[in-house]
Structure 1
Amino acid sequence: MKKLFYIFLLVSGTFLVSCQEDFLERSPLDQISDPEFWNSQSDLELFLNSFYDTFDGWPASGGGKAPTKDEGTDFALEGLNAFGGTFTQRMDGVLNVPGSGGGWNWGNIRNINYFLANVDRVPEGGAMREHYVGEGHFFRAWFYFDLFKDFGALPIITVPVTAEDEDILYSGRANRTEVFDFILSDIDMAISKMDPSNQLATPGTRLSRDIALLFKARAALFAGSWEKYHQGTVFGGQTDGSGYIQQAAAAAKQLIDEGNFSLVQGDSNSVYFELFNQVNYAGNPEVIFYQHFDRVNGDSFSNQLWNWPNGYGYTYDASRFYLSNDGLPIAVSPNFVGDETLEILETNRDPRLAQTFMVPGDIRRIQGTDTLYFEVPDVDNSGTGIESQKFRHIVVDPAVGINNGNVDYIFMRYAEALLIYAEAKAELGTLTQADVDMTINQLRDRVGMPHLILNAITPDPNWPDYGYSLPDYLHEIRRERVVELFAEGFRFDDLMRWRAHEYWAGKRFVGTFATPELQEISNVPINPNGFFDPFRDRLSGPDGGYGFDPERDYLVPLPTNELTLNPNLDQNPGW
């Protein structure tokens, strides 16, 4: 009991620090120790376990919505009753410099530094000791990467800081390239020490070498493409990004070549939908890292099926990324019959569209012998009239009821590794048809879509304008990333790393066409072309569009109290 009490003190929010002033008033964490602790590898596991709660899965029951992690981007607009509480604030450029907080929180890094500083007190031996050391390095890299995406340059802190460490407390920020090199070094250490998933007692729910490899690929692609597309701007790094992109490709390729994971297969008209609504991913060949929920044991998540559409809606603009079922862009395909109304939106399209978006006739719920069908959207609640099919667990377990709290959440899956490898090779200019067949075409095969053939790409008149030109194959790889990873939380980071502000700044994203039937049941604004326009009177930019400032808004501001306390910290550009 005493051991549990001390570990609780170490990792509880009581010791999170948001500013140096508060920090200096606290007892140093490394003075809070128990002589009975740090004796075995189980002590290491116990310390690390609480950090697993920092992975952002489903929200707690009662949150009022079944989520999409892309809410507030061009893919999904929050409901007007919750306007501004998502990525919309960043996309619209309406953040203010905070007096304190603002995400500049080093509590998790301090606690994991405490772990790494004390791990050598545990005697050598134990099959998992080195694995847990690897987990410590993984968590530090993970926490640093979160700060890195928001703030760029950061102080590099590798020890649990005390009040006497004034040289650290009042240090400046290392540049973003130095920071990411530090993050990579921690990830590489984690890869070298952790066991692969298939050697763990609980594969998929415990960190593993495979998870660290995919994290390396994800993070290196972010850093590399950021440095490539922001090169020459105030947000640029110290390189052209190619070295990081090469590391992203190598990490993804290693994961692919080791052959421990594969894409789930099944009926092309349902396999994608069914991938995201499972109550247990144990043994799933595609899922690399997930969170298991079991409400019987006290987990608070509920997917809130009874409350669908849960306060957000997908956009019409997002639907237009999906190809026709002949593999051609909708602008040139003879199979395309239109997409203005929900009734025809999914006709002759990539099957993933029908397995992601909700249209009349789709099943909402199956309960015993009763089947409830979707008829018309709740436009006022969703904002766009386009509700989500993805993540929905539609078959009601009579033992649980509609408030099913047992749907697992996927953090990482094999499809991402395929997409990272294809994009990295394309960015490096070394993409081959064999690479495409191994990656993009594997994803298309699963849903019965025609292959991408590099020397036979049909240009799309509606390719997004990112403010710079791209080769046709890179446009198509970005499209595949949209379609396959839709609503899984990658979109905002993608737009930031691609420096894609020309695509959304000054514009608005809309919902489905406002038919007379839908107009009768909705108060959502309508644009001159007849589409629901929920943000018409909400955005700050010219002509009612997004007010993003590309000279400022790619990073968030440091809080003023930190700048006051530490004169060696500098503010981010434009703030």
Structure 2
Amino acid sequence: MKYLKHILLIILAGTLCTNCEDNFLDTPPNDRIVSEKFWSTDNDAILASNAIYPYLLQDAMTYAMWDGMSDIGHVTLQWRQESLVEKGAHNAASSKIAQVWAFAYEGIQGANLFLANVDNFEPADPALIDRLKAEIRVIRAKLYMDLAMLFGDVPLSTSELTLEESLELTRTPIEEVWNFISSELTAAADVLPTTQSETGRITKGAALGLKARALLYAKRYEKAAVTAKEVIDLGVYSLYPSYENMFGYAAQNSNEVILDRQFTQNVNASNIYDILTPNSIWPQRNDLVPTKQCVDMYKMANGLDIMDPLSGFDPNNPYTGRDPRLGYSIFTLGSVLPNGQIYDPRPNSGTGDAIGSSENSTYSGFNVKKYLTPEDNPDPNNCGINLILLRYADVLLMYAESKIEANDIDQSVLDAINEVRGRPDVNMPAISGIFDQAELRQIVRDERAVELAFEGLRYFDIRRWRIAEDLTGIIYGMTYENEEGDLTTIALTGFDVSFNKDRDYLWPIPFNELVLNPNLTQNPGW
């Protein structure tokens, strides 16, 4: 019956149209703005650019799940597509793969449409239009950077495409993609101001910071170091004094934040609190939990590894005397939750966080603390905290890493690392007198792991370092004293992290894309 109704409506519309005047179809719709009439004012360009900004980040779930597919996090619900990636069970038909590809190319097509049309009118403020074009080129370059890191060779399109044209694209060699990203971000940085009057808009520092990241990902270390230094030398960024408060409302738009995805309560809110909060606060979510492998990366406050016999680590009090960033980033046994309750994930503790008490309670005995604030406790789906995509600490560590990998090691490398470690409420011991490349490489990698945990970067780091295959196997959780008084470590039996080094450093090209476009080829092993 519904198909019959549709047919009748079509026939009725056709009958009406045959009796209309010839100019009936030329009547502009009154429920939308047609493209031909839209591009006529500077404000149209501003509105169109605003429509591209959401492509900086798909959503809070995407942000959180990158680390869930790495060694520092675990996806709680095994039916999630990210869980399939975690255990190496994904394939070209996986919806996660298709969604990431589609989102990126939707944003790229939108950016191309903007750039193709924004010059179709005489602007009142040409400098404004130039700035907006630079902002959109940065977003497009970031999308291509994500695609290149995940898929390798990808179709490179810089113009608005018809459906037919899109189905004829071929994959562009990744080195050409990196060249494009670098040149686009360079050109954008030349136009963009160091600060913007409108909060959240892309700046020169954001363009240069993303360029440094792209060059680092592309292993162009000398250029990456130079570009990171350009960001440092802008003189507009500094570390926020409190790591503990940096991911809450108090630090919004601080001088440390270079690029973020802006959210606003009641208008354009995120659900990051809902996604990450422990089960005892908000049941039936808790999508991502930290692993023991992550917790063990945080050294003692004296700078020594917990496995060092001189570190002072106490297995009976494992979270005492540690790098303060552990307590600021992860809920551990005895932590105070945003609702004022004490976090107790021990099995049989009787709390909603007890391991094994429900499908959504923590599997590891840990929960993510970043971005969870008491202000969002009453309404977990109405979070207005911006999600950080690039901050100054990352730039300092990228500078240090690039110099190390280029084997251009000097005191500035140590200074950059120590600036991050020396944040007032972190105050980890300074690194001194170390100029060995291999040793410094491990130091800066460890520093990235703990400084940037749960900010969506670890998955990309372990893949570009080619160490992902070494971080597989059983996931472990908290160590606690059981009812017999013995120390017991949680092991997630029945779930093994898997990574095929001959296949998984590239994601498969989505199956549907291969069906639609026979010019695309598949990555090896898929």
2: CA distance, partners of 1:263 / 1:90: 34
Equivalent pair of 2:409/2:435 in contact (CA under 8 Å): no
User: CA shift at 1:78, angstroms?
Assistant: 1.8
- Which residue among 357, 360, 373 is the counterpart of 2:342? 373
Q: In the alignment, what sits opposite 1:214?
A: 209
- Which residue among 552, 555, 566 is the counterpart of 2:506? 555
2: CA distance, partners of 1:502 / 1:302: 29
- The amino acid that maps onto 1:255 is V
- The amino acid that maps onto 2:211 is K
1: CA distance, partners of 2:213 / 2:421: 21
Q: In the alignment, what sits opposite 2:7?
A: none
Is 2:380 aligned against 1:382?
no
Is 2:457 aligned against 1:486?
no
RMSD: 3.1
- The amino acid that maps onto 1:480 is E
- Which residue among 362, 368, 372 is the counterpart of 2:335? 362
- Which residue among 387, 398, 414 is the counterpart of 1:409? 387
Percent identity over the alignment is 30
Q: In the alignment, what sits opposite 1:134?
A: 134
- Which residue among 503, 524, 532 is the counterpart of 2:490? 532
SS in 2 for 1:554: coil
- The amino acid that maps onto 1:51 is I
User: CA shift at 1:500, angstroms?
Assistant: 0.8
Equivalent pair of 2:87/2:495 in contact (CA under 8 Å): no
Equivalent pair of 2:53/2:139 in contact (CA under 8 Å): no
Q: In the alignment, what sits opposite 1:233?
A: none
Q: In the alignment, what sits opposite 1:352?
A: 325
Higher deviation after alignment, 173-182 or 475-484: 173-182
Alignment of 1:145-160 (within 5 A): 145-160=145-160
User: CA shift at 1:555, angstroms?
Assistant: 1.1
Q: Flag the 1:378–1:3 CA change in 2: closer, same or farther, 3 A.
A: farther
1: CA distance, partners of 2:443 / 2:407: 14
SS in 2 for 1:121: coil
Alignment of 1:278-427 (within 5 A): 278=249, 281-282=252-253, 284-297=254-267, 299=269, 301=271, 303-304=273-274, 306-307=281-282, 310-332=286-308, 334-339=310-315, 344-365=317-338, 371-376=340-345, 377-380=353-356, 381-394=361-374, 405-427=383-405
- The amino acid that maps onto 1:33 is S
Alignment of 1:9-48 (within 5 A): 33-34=35-36, 36-48=37-49
Alignment of 1:495-534 (within 5 A): 495-505=462-472, 507-513=473-479, 515-517=481-483, 530-534=488-492
- The amino acid that maps onto 1:192 is D
Equivalent pair of 2:300/2:321 in contact (CA under 8 Å): yes
Equivalent pair of 1:293/1:301 in contact (CA under 8 Å): no
Is 2:499 aligned against 1:571?
no
Q: In the alignment, what sits opposite 1:59?
A: 60
1: CA distance, partners of 2:81 / 2:484: 26
Q: State the structure with more CA Rg.
A: 2
> Residue deviations 1:362-410, cap 9 Å, x none?
22136xxxx433344432311001223322213679xx67776333322
TM-score by length of 1: 0.75
1: CA distance, partners of 2:309 / 2:303: 8
SS in 2 for 1:510: strand
> Residue deviations 1:149-197, cap 9 Å, x none?
22111222122122564xx742422211111111222212221222222
2: CA distance, partners of 1:396 / 1:116: 38
Q: In the alignment, what sits opposite 2:419?
A: 442
- The amino acid that maps onto 2:48 is F
Gaps in structure 2 of 5+ consecutive residues: 1-27, 346-352
Equivalent pair of 2:271/2:381 in contact (CA under 8 Å): no
Q: Flag the 1:172–1:54 CA change in 2: closer, same or farther, 3 A.
A: closer
Q: In the alignment, what sits opposite 1:234?
A: none
User: CA shift at 1:69, angstroms?
Assistant: 4.5
Q: Flag the 1:518–1:154 CA change in 2: closer, same or farther, 3 A.
A: farther
Is 2:198 aligned against 1:202?
yes
Equivalent pair of 1:277/1:407 in contact (CA under 8 Å): yes
1: CA distance, partners of 2:243 / 2:438: 28
> Residue deviations 1:221-240, cap 9 Å, x none?
1121xxxxxxxxxxxxxxxx
